[in-house]
Copies of this chain bind each other. A is one copy, B any other.
Amino acid sequence: MKKMINNPDDVIDELMTGYLIAYPEYIRRSNLHQRALIGKKRHPDRKVSILIGGGSGHEPAFLGYVGQGMADGVAVGNIFASPSPIPIQAVTREIHDNHGVLYVYGNYAGDLMNFEMASEMTEIEDDIETAVVIGNDDVASAKEIEERRGIAGELLVYKAAGAAADFGYGLEEVRRIAQLANDNTRSMGIGLSPCYLPQTGKPSFDLEDNEMEIGLGHHGEPGIEKTTLRSAKETVQVMMQNILKENIYQSNDEVVVLVNGLGATSQMELYIINKEVDEILKEKNIKTYKSYVGNFITSMEMGGFSVTLMKLDDTLKSCIDHPVDCPNFKEV
């Protein structure tokens, strides 16, 4: 492990400090909890507040998506570990505006437990209504949709939820639109090289020099198979086959494409992957409305990437078109 850090026990607090220093006009620490961050920019029409969160190590997720047009606050967990209910409740208390709070997080056992507990606490102790959308876009993680993990597609759910909130909708309508975004979104990931956990120095998974893992999760969870390293074209073909066989994306549909790097994969490679995705979509006569290519939800210095499609209707298109102004995601 070769990391530019200080004491491994301090990485979360230090990264948060460095983050707050970088973007003082966007974000502040909660008065109620050290691991709760609160956005400073909020659309004047917004009623419902959006709360996101999860484990650390995915930077710029999740704290990078607090800002105008996206989330109002974030609860920050340890590396690859859910935040406890206490910071989630703290964020909820600070961001709510008497119109309810939508929680958006990924489908992981720890997050489910902690966000559900926080939701009960805030409803009982603080009389704040909450609703929830759980990201589960990773087609490789399970056959049953309800059992699937959330990976990079969550970014698009934040975007939809944030836009719907900025449109001034109530809690149930914001939840419905965010859920629609999630339901229309499918992803698949590839692992090339592991990341190393700061406190143990252990790799997140093992692969030989000539191997890749198809369907890898964002924390190094095993995928569908380990194979020898393939070309970008062959790899994307396998990924797109798995995404397209979900039967969501049809000829003449318009989609958002998201090519997400896990950390150590070069941007050169991500753009080559984007080209391969585009060729397959053109063959299928599926239209790309918008592409996002970059490191949006990473796994520290893991090598690999994911491909995500979100099918658009008029509602989701208006959400994608809505401007956002976050430290790590700006759409003019």
Contacts and interface: CB of A to CB of B under 8 A. Distances in A.
Interface of A: 2-6, 11, 14-19, 21-23, 56-57, 59-60, 190, 192-193, 195, 209-210, 212, 229, 231-233, 235, 263-276, 278, 288, 291-295, 298, 300-301, 303, 305, 325, 328, 330-332
Nearest to A208: B2
B295 A4 contact: no
B274 A4 contact: no
A288 B5 contact: no
5 contacts: A18-B270, A18-B293, A22-B293, A57-B266, A330-B330
A22 to B, nearest CB: 4
A28 B279 CA distance: 18
Nearest to A16: B271
A266 B268 contact: no
Contact of A267 (B21, B233, B295): B295
A192 B231 contact: no
Number of this chain's copies in the complex = 2
Most chain B beta-carbon neighbours within 10 Å: one of A209, A268, A331 = A268
Given A2-B229, A21-B278, 5 more contacts: A5-B272, A6-B272, A18-B293, A263-B264, A267-B295
A4 B273 contact: yes
A231 B272 contact: no
A22 B295 contact: no
Contact of A21 (B190, B233, B291, B331): B291
A274 B22 contact: yes
Nearest to A325: B332
Contact of A17 (B210, B263, B275, B301): B275
The 3 nearest A-B residue pairs measured at CB: A18-B271, A18-B275, A59-B267
